[in-house]
Structure 1
Amino acid sequence: MTHLSGADAILQSMIQNGVDTIFGLPGGQLDHFFDAMYQSSDKVRTICSRHEQGAAYMAYGYARSTGKVGVYTVVPGPGVLNSTAALCSAYATNTPVLCLTGQIPSRSIGKGYGELHELPDQLATMKSLTKYAERINHPSQAPAIVNEAFRALKSGRPRPVSLEMPMDIMGLQSDVKLLNAFVDTPTEPDPEQIKAAAKLLGSAKSPLIIVGGGATHAAPEVQELAEMLQAPVSSFRSGRGIISDDHYLGVNYPTGHRLWAEADVVVGIGTRLQLQQQFWGVDENLKIIRIDIDPVEIDRINVPEVGIVADARRALRALIPMLEKENINRSSRKDELDALKRDYWRRIQKVQPQMSYLEVIRQELPEDGIFCDEITQVGFTSWYGFPVYKPRQLITCGYQGTLGYGYATALGVKIAHPDKPVISVAGDGGFLFTANEMATAVQYNIGLVTIVFNNNKFGNVQRQQKEWFGGRLIASDLHNPDFVKFAESFGAAAYRTNSPEGLREFIRKGLDHNGPTLIEVHVEEDMATPWEFILTPPVRG
Structure 2
Amino acid sequence: MTCAQRLIRLLEAHGVDTAFGIPGVHTIELYRGLGDSGLAHVTPRHEQGAGFMADGYARASGKPAACFIISGPGMTNIATAMGQALADSVPMLVISSVNQRASLGRGQGRLHEMPHQGETLAGVSVFSHTLHDPAALPEVLARAFAVFASARPGPVHLEIPLDVMAAPAPDDMPTPARVFPPAPAPEALAVAGDWLAAAERPLVLLGGGTTSAPEAARALVERLDAPAFTTINAKGVLGRDHPLDLGATLSLPAARRLAAEADVVLALGTELGETDYDLVFDEGFRLDGRLIRVDIDPQQLGRNQAADLALLAEAGQTMCGLLERLPASVERDGAGRAADVRSRLALAADPELAPYVPLYATLREALPEAIVVGDSTGPVYAGNFLAAMPAPRCWFNAATGFGTLGYGLPAALGAALARPDLPVVALVGDGGLQFVLGELGTARDLGRPVALVIWNNQGYDEIRRYMSMSEVPHLGVDLAAPDFRALAEAYACRHLDAVDPASLHDALGRLGEAHSPLIIEVDAAAWAASQ
Matched, 1:260 2:259: yes
Aligned to 2:19: 22
Secondary structure of the equivalent of 1:28? coil
Deviation at 1:107, TM superposition (A): 2.1
**1:323 is the counterpart of 2:326:** yes
Q: Residues of 2 paired with 1:156 and 1:247: CA distance?
A: 30
In structure 1, which of residues 166, 170, 183 is the aligned counterpart of residue 161 of structure 2? Answer: 166
Taking the aligned partners of 2:467 and 2:342, their CA distance within structure 1 comes to: 34
Aligned-partner SS, 1:29 = coil
Q: Greater CA deviation, 132-141 or 59-68? A: 132-141
Q: Which residue of 2 aligns with 1:188?
A: 183
Identity %: 29
1:497 equivalent in alignment to 2:498: yes
| 3-state SS in 2 of match to 1:34 | helix
Give the C-alpha shift of residue 380 in structure 1: 0.3
How many corresponding residue pairs? 518
SS at match of 1:54: helix
1:520 counterpart letter in structure 2? E
Read off the aligned partner of 1:372 and give its amino acid letter: V
Measured after TM superposition, the shift of residue 218 of structure 1 is 2.1
1:53 alignment partner in structure 2: 48
Equivalent of 2:242 in 230, 238, 247 = 247
* Pick aligned residue for 1:288 from 257, 276, 291: 291
AA in 1 matched with 2:269: G
Where do 5+ consecutive residues of structure 2 fail to align?
none
What is the aligned counterpart of 2:2 among 5, 16, 20? 5
Structure 1 residues 428 and 328: CA distance shift in structure 2, 3 A: closer
Query: Is 1:391 aligned with 2:392?
Result: yes
Aligned counterpart, 2:415 = 413
Match for residue 524 of structure 2? 523
Letter in 2 for 1:301: N
Once the 2 structures are TM-superposed, how far is the Cα of residue 207 of structure 1 from its aligned partner? 0.9
Give the aligned partner of residue 31 of structure 1.
28
Report the Cα distance in structure 1 between the residues aligned to 2:270 and 2:154, rounded to whole angstroms.
15
Name the amino acid aligned to 1:207.
P
* 1:212 counterpart residue number: 207
1:339-354 paired onto structure 2 within 5 Å: 340-341=341-342, 344-345=345-346, 347-348=348-349, 350=351, 351-354=353-356
Which amino acid is the alignment partner of residue 105 of structure 1? Answer: Q
Give the whole-Å Cα distance in 1 for the aligned partners of 2:4 and 2:439. Answer: 27
Letter in 1 for 2:44: S
Select between 315-324 and 95-104 the one with higher mean Cα deviation: 315-324
Is the contact made by 1:452 and 1:521 (CA closer than 8 Å) also made in structure 2?
A: yes
Q: Give the match's secondary structure for 1:72.
A: strand
* 1:313 alignment partner, one of 316, 337, 341: 316
Cα shift at 1:126: 1.9
Q: Is the 8 A contact 1:194 1:318 kept in 2?
A: yes
Change (3 A) 1:110 1:517: same
> How far, CA to CA, are the matches of 1:221 and 1:508 in structure 2?
34
CA pair 329-361 structure 1, distance change in 2 beyond 3 A: closer
Are residue 304 (structure 1) and residue 301 (structure 2) matched?
Answer: no
Local SS of the residue matching 1:57: helix
Q: Shift of the alpha carbon at 1:209?
A: 0.6
**Alignment match, 1:536:** none
Q: Which residue of 2 aligns with 1:535?
A: none
Secondary structure at 1:360 match in 2: helix
Whole-Å separation in 1 of the counterparts to 2:214 and 2:321: 15
How far apart in 1 are the matches of 2:27 and 2:91? 22
Q: Distance in 2 between the 1:435 and 1:447 partners?
A: 17
1-structure distance, mates of 2:32, 2:11: 15
Q: CA deviation at 1:490?
A: 0.6
1:91 corresponding residue in structure 2: 86
Contact 1:221–1:313, Cα closer than 8 Å, also in 2: yes
Aligned equivalents of 2:505 and 2:169: distance in 1? 58
Which whole-Å CA distance do the structure 1 matches of 2:492 and 2:516 have between them?
Answer: 9
- Report the 3-state secondary structure (helix = DSSP H, G, I; strand = E; otherwise coil) of the residue aligned with 1:181: coil
SS of the equivalent of 1:484 reads: helix
Q: Which amino acid aligns with 2:259?
A: W
Alpha-carbon RMSD across the aligned residues, in angstroms, is: 2.0
1:144 is aligned, of 139, 143, 148, to 139
Please say which of residues 212-221 and 377-386 is displaced more in the overlay. 212-221
In the TM superposition, what is the alpha-carbon distance from 1:337 to its structure 2 partner?
Answer: 3.4
What secondary structure is seen at the aligned counterpart in 2 of 1:210? strand
Secondary structure in 2 matching 1:486: helix
Secondary structure, counterpart of 1:438 in structure 2: helix
Match of 1:451?
Answer: 453
Q: Distance in 1 between matches of 2:285 and 2:498?
A: 43
Counterpart selection for 1:111 from 93, 106, 109: 106
In 2, the alpha carbon distance for the partners of 1:346 and 1:155 equals 38
Aligned counterpart, 1:279: 283
Say which SS state the counterpart of residue 270 (structure 2) adopts. Answer: coil
- Aligned partner letter, 2:445: Q
Which consecutive unaligned segments of at least 5 residues does structure 1 have? Answer: 529-541
Quick check: 1:453–1:522 contact (8 Å CA) kept in 2?
Answer: yes
Change (3 A) 1:424 1:374: same
SS at match of 1:440: helix
Q: Determine if contact 2:149/2:180 at 8 Å carries over to the other structure.
A: no
What secondary structure is seen at the aligned counterpart in 1 of 2:413?
Answer: helix
Asked whether the equivalents of residues 458 and 479 of structure 2 are also in contact (C-alpha less than 8 Å), the reply is yes
- The aligned runs of 1:417-432 (5 Å cut-off) are 417-432=419-434
CA distance in 2, matches of 1:182, 1:406: 35
CA distance in 2 between partners of 1:32 and 1:422 (Å): 34
Quote how far apart the aligned CAs of 1:434 are: 1.1
Offset of residue 80 of structure 1:
0.9
| Mapped contact 2:224–2:330 kept (Cα < 8 A) | no
Deviations for 1:453-480, whole angstroms, at most 9, x for unmatched residues?
111110011111112025x110000022
Deviation at 1:338, TM superposition (A): 4.1
Residue 345 of structure 1, CA deviation: 4.8
Runs of 4+ in 1 over 6 A off after TM superposition: 525-528
State the match for 1:537 in structure 2. none
Whole-angstrom CA distance in 2 between matches of 1:79 and 1:214: 31
Aligned partners of 1:202 and 1:328 also within 8 Å: no
Alpha-carbon deviations, 1:162-198, whole Å to 9, x = none?
0111122222224331111232122121222211111
- The TM-score with structure 2 as length reference comes to 0.93
